[in-house]
Amino acid sequence: MILFILYEFVASTQKGASGGNISNYLLIDKLRHHKKIGIIAPNIPIALVKELESKGIFVITEHLKFKPPFGGFKTRQWFKNTIDNLICNTPTIISELEIVVTSNGTCDLTEKLRKNQTQQYILCRAFEDFLDHNAHYPLKEKIRRIFKKIYTAKKISKAYQTADRIVTNSEFMKGFIQNYYPEANISVLYPPIDVPLKKLKPTPSKPRIGIINPSTRKGEGIFLLLAKHHPDVDFIYFSQHQKNYPLENVKFAGWFSDRDKLFTQIDILIAPSVWSEPFGRVSVEAIRSGVPVLVSNIGGLPETVDQMFVVSEHSIQCWNKKLNWLITYPTEVEAAWSHSVMRSMKFEQKEHDEKALSIFS
């Protein structure tokens, strides 16, 4: 059995599901055909539990109603009690257990399971376990991380040092983790992104320029500056919440889980992040949907597109220059898009599944 111990687990189709949620769901759905799978996670919806159990997946969940400021601590205590009192005291589970897979927030809770000679894997697709890393967090999150560092930093470090394998989602993240743990056995498993491939959309002289979930760390400032520099161009943002931007050419388009519907509303996508995004799922989705995309030269974003779509410096001058290039040189844009499409092949479901089976065999 491969036992996944996750802080949250939702269906890949659920509204607002993060890239990590989607990747976990698709990974487990693939592995279940080859291994017995178990999942421990709080607050899994009843309908999803039934779906998982119908596929032969063993599920332990509970609806937790813990609230701040101690909700996180109580949730971790629930994990600890479940592992110590249920998993460790169930011989049939222990005897079948081959690999324990933890993630951000749970990697330091499985010390007792290591004594049973199980392999310990950590899924690291973000920075939550690296408590001194500055990822442009809001003040509330910074305070939470300070307390977490006091109580769990040593245990988290030990978990990473002793893990049999760390699985991450980009070459950037692999290098980042190696800076902390040079001896770690790290595998890159790119997220599966099987968006049907479409032809490149011609870029009009006044393109509709889009951004997804704008925020300070996702480059909201650059988005607004570009809109200010191009008042005759529509700048469209997709979000679950409307914001009060003071520019008439900045339009709110709501939120669409259906990427095909989303990308029909724009001609260019920008991802001007100022923080090191571990990966760039949305840029791959845009490329495969026939939409050219400009990304910051930071984190895992440059791995997802041709270098011509990477903005070398985070300044309004550089972003303006690249945007003008997109509009003015269609032949060069098409070549860069074609190269990006070729790069996207390594993110297809087939490539993911083959790599996943080799990692978890």
Per residue, the 3-state secondary structure of 248-299, as one string, reads CCEEECCCCCCHHHHHCCCCEEEECCCCCCCCCHHHHHHHHCCCCEEEECCC
Name residue 76's amino acid: R
Single out the residue of 35, 57, 53, 60 nearest to residue 121, CA to CA: 35
Q: Which of 201, 206, 197, 251 is nearest to 224 (CA)?
A: 251
Q: Is the bond preceding 69 in cis, omega lying within 30 degrees of 0?
A: yes
**What would the pLDDT profile of 125-158 be if each residue is shown by its tens digit?**
988 888 776 666 666 666 666 666 667 888 899 9
| pLDDT category of residue 66 using cuts at 50, 70 and 90 | confident
CA distances from 199 to 253, 284, 337 (A): 24, 14, 10
Q: How confident is the model at residue 208 (pLDDT cuts 50, 70, 90)?
A: very high
DSSP classification of residue 301:
G
Q: How far apart are CA 201 and CA 290, in angstroms?
A: 5
| pTM for this entry | 0.91
DSSP state of 196: P
pLDDT of residue 145: 65
Amino acid (1-letter code) at residue 131: L
Q: What is the DSSP string of 20-66?
A: HHHHHHHHHHHHTTTS-EEEE-TT--HHHHHHHHHTT-EEE------
Report whether 338 contacts 323 (CB < 8 A): no
Q: Is 166 helix (H, G, I), strand (E, B) or coil?
A: strand
**Mean pLDDT computed over 250-274:** 93
The per-residue pLDDT for 158 is: 93
Report CA Rg, the chain. 22
The pair of structure tokens assigned to 97 is 């257990």
Here the tokens at position 27 are 């990974």
Mean of the pLDDT values across residues 54-76?
88
How many Å apart are CA 327 and CA 104, to the nearest integer?
A: 41
Buried b (16+ CB within 10 A) or exposed e, 340-354: bbeebeebbeeebbe
Rounded Cα distance between 269 and 299, Å, is 18
Could you please report the per-residue DSSP string of 223-260? Answer: HHHHHHH-TTS-EEEE-SS----S-TTEEE----S-HH
Q: Is the pLDDT of residue 116 over 80?
A: no
* Whole-angstrom distance, CA of residue 78 vs CA of residue 174: 30
Q: Is 37 in contact with 58 (CB distance < 8 Å)?
A: yes
Query: Can you tell me the distance from the alpha carbon of 164 to that of 173, in angstroms, rounded to the nearest whole number?
Result: 17
Q: At what angle do helices 220-229 and 316-328 cross, to 10 degrees?
A: 60
Q: Which helix (H) or strand (E) holds 333?
A: helix 330-344
Neighbours of 2 (CB within 10 A): 23
Residue 297 has pLDDT above 80, yes or no: yes
3-state secondary structure 63-121: CCCCCCCCHHHHHHHHHHHHHHHHHCCCHHHHHHCCEEEEECCCCCCCHHHHCCCCEEE
Whether residue 32 is predicted with pLDDT greater than 90 in this model: the reply is: yes
Q: Over the stretch 158-198, which tens digit does the pLDDT of each residue have?
A: 999 999 999 999 999 999 999 999 999 999 999 999 889 99
How high is the mean pLDDT of the chain?
A: 92
In the predicted structure, residue 344 carries a pLDDT above the cut 90: yes
Q: Which helix (H) or strand (E) holds 188?
A: strand 186-188
**Separation between Cα atoms, residue 291 and residue 199, nearest integer Å:** 9
What pLDDT, in 10s, does the model give residues 302-332? Answer: 999 999 999 999 999 999 999 999 999 999 9
Span 246-255, pLDDT tens digits = 999 999 999 8
